[in-house]
Amino acid sequence: MDIKNIGIYRQERPSYSEKKPYFPPAIFEEYPFNDRSTDQNNYAYSSIRNLLKLLELDSENFGKKSWNPFGSFMKPGDTVLLKPNLVRHFCENGDTKGLMTHGSLIRAAADYAYIALQGKGRIIIADGPMDDADFEKIASMSGIYEIREFYKGETGFDIEIYDLRQEMVVKKHEKIEERVKLAGDPLGYSAVNLGPMSAFKKGDLDYASFRGSECRPDIMSLHHNKEKDEYLISNTFLNADVVINIPKMKTHKRAGVTLSLKNLVGITGDRNWLPHYSENVSCSKVPPRRWPIGHLRGGIEVVKNAIGFIKPLRDSLRQFTGVTVSTMRSGNWHGNDIIWRTILDLWRIALYADKNGIMRNEEQRKTFVIVDGIIGGEADGPTNPTAKRCGVLVAGFHWPSVDIAVSRIMGFDPIKIPKFKGFSHLADIPCVSNIREWDNKISGFKGMCLNFKPHYGWKKHIEADTDVKKQDL
């Protein structure tokens, strides 16, 4: 096994099972439960199994009852956190297939974790969705409660499920009308200060211009300034021995793509501590896109304002307006020089913050990534993506490497995505795949691959022109 490898598996049918709690399509030799129920439509389960085989995890025992692919990075007694991307219970275009991590992947990951734990330890499913998300509806849609009930009834093992938010909001016309206090993380939260390790300490930045979830500069300035850069992190996450990150393959309006690194936003307890963008657009290096007919954009803006209460029409119109000053000021474009720093800070915390939230020099927990691209999300991501049927799963241990490989498979040029620019050495990382074109180094991938449509604020600034060559990464 080479932990630097990236596995890419493509299944024939880009679809999910809808039958909870997502039994495997066959009773595989290593399957640990007495219940022999199967679901022939659960292709994702066997795809994850094949993906782990591609990565040669416990390869000498594959096909035997003793096969334990996660045993190389977890052991009995460990606390294992499964971190899906649960986002919210609705998509503005009505199709949530490309929005959330599907429950069938969570079930398969839980089963292989259970095998490694030998029934001794903890499995936790936890995420902090968006502030207007209804966690009960998300849980119902994803089937995680049914997964928990199966485990309890079959083995007596308790899978724990937590909404990591401290608060949810009720919105009307995108304005907050009510705030609802939530139980949050049962272990509480820790303020983690990266100090000089923060990506915000590189470059001459105007801290006063930083804005977060609710544009609260009074909160932001307390946690991001010249003296410190700190984040409120879930103690359940910090206390995990192993984290299995299960993000969705999607585009993102502020970060270009949302994959394993961006998925860490869900481990925070207050998103007003997270710099998302800068209101100081005068410092932006890239001007807004201009249209051949000068008055077109202005005319559409007038129409948008006049019918702003008609959300579906407004959302369709914004795909044609280009990058306006308004979208720049809210950070929804390729010139966002802030969110990538937050993302890299959270990744460093995930690796190096100890159980007390103190940054260390050594990695503090084992991590593994499985990216759900069976049905991905393109265009207006991350909250209103168009579902894209791909049938692809990608896995690996090194998060930036996995994300770079996935971005390239999506048809993007990783060098054009700010959070990847510091990882020029990753072009030669090998991928193993059942698809010949992807059984190669990342730098050897050809053409547009899955040809995802980027978010409109990233159009013509993120797409791969030809091959991504080594020197370009």
Q: How far apart are CA 459 and CA 41, in angstroms?
A: 36
Helix H, strand E, coil C: the string for 344-402 is HHHHHHHHHECCCCCECCCCCCEEEEEEEEEEEEECCCCCCCEEEEEEEEEEECCHHHH
Handedness of CA 108, 265, 426, 101 (dihedral sign): positive
Q: How far is 153 from 37, CA to CA, in rounded Å?
A: 14
Query: What are the angstrom distances between the C-alpha of 290 and each of 286, 287, 328, 330?
Result: 12, 9, 13, 18
Kindly give, in sequence order, each residue whose CB lies less than 8 Å from that of residue 369, ignoring residues fewer than 6 positions away.
244, 245, 246, 247, 260, 394, 395, 396, 397, 399, 402
How high does pLDDT run on average in the chain? 90
What pLDDT is recorded for position 420?
95
Average pLDDT of 266-271? 97
Cα 280 to Cα 37, 41, 218, 222, 330: the distances in Å are 57, 51, 16, 19, 10
d(CA 254, CA 235): 27
Q: Return the CA Rg of the chain.
A: 22
Paired residues of 369 in beta bridges: 245, 396
What is the rounded distance in angstroms from the CA atom of residue 229 to the CA atom of residue 200?
Answer: 7
pLDDT over 60 at 293, yes or no: no
CA angle 160, 165, 169 (to 5 degrees): 130
How do 386-396 and 366-378 pair as beta strands?
antiparallel
How far are the Cα atoms of 128, 256, 368, 403 from residue 237, in angstroms, in the given order?
11, 26, 14, 21
The pLDDT, as a whole number, for residue 156 is: 97
Q: Span 333-354, mean pLDDT?
A: 97
Which long-range contacts link 132-137 to residues 24+ away (Cβ below 8 Å)? Answer: 132/88, 132/168, 132/169, 132/170, 132/171, 133/86, 133/87, 133/88, 133/89, 133/168, 134/88, 134/89, 134/168, 135/86, 135/163, 135/165, 135/168, 137/89
Tokens of 365: 């927990």
Percent of the chain with pLDDT over 70: 89
On the question of pLDDT at 468 being above 90, the answer is: no
Whether 316 has a pLDDT exceeding 60, the answer reads no
What's the confidence (pLDDT) of residue 424?
74
Compute CA distances 352 → 78, 137, 193, 197, whole Å.
18, 34, 11, 11
> Residue 314: its pLDDT value, please?
54
**Which one has a higher pLDDT value, 283 or 423?**
423
Structure tokens given for 434: 């059942």
When pLDDT is averaged across residues 250-277 and rounded to a whole number, the result is 97
The reported pLDDT for the residue numbered 425 is 82
Residue 363 has pLDDT above 70, yes or no: yes
If you count them, how many residues does the chain have?
473
pLDDT bracket for residue 320 (50, 70, 90): low
pLDDT of res. 385 = 96
What is the full DSSP assignment across 302-339?
HHHHHTTT-HHHHHHHGGGS-S-HHHHHTT-STT--SH
Report the distance separating Cα 322 and Cα 222, nearest Å.
34
Q: Can you say how many angstroms the Cα of residue 311 is from the centroid of all Cα atoms in its chain?
A: 26
Rounded-to-10 torsion of CA 272, 276, 281, 284: 150
Report the pLDDT value the prediction gives residue 107, as an integer from 0 to 100. Answer: 98
- Report d(CA 105, CA 82) in Å as an integer: 10
108 close to 144: Cβ distance less than 8 angstroms: no
Output the six-digit token pair for 384.
């209103």
3-state secondary structure (DSSP) of residue 20: coil
**DSSP-based three-state secondary structure for 463:** strand
In this predicted structure, what is the pLDDT of residue 322?
64
Scanning the structure block, which residue is given the tokens 């992807």? Answer: 438
Query: Is pLDDT larger for residue 128 or for residue 321?
Result: 128
Identity at 206, one-letter amino acid code: D
Cβ distance 261 to 386 under 8 Å?
Answer: no
Query: What pLDDT does 173 receive?
Result: 81
CA 77 to CA 406: how far, in whole Å?
32
Question: Tens of pLDDT along 133-184?
Answer: 999 999 999 999 999 999 999 999 999 999 999 999 999 888 899 999 999 9
Query: Across the strands, what pairs with 376?
Result: 388
Q: pTM of the prediction? A: 0.91
Neighbouring CB atoms inside 10 A of 377's CB total 30
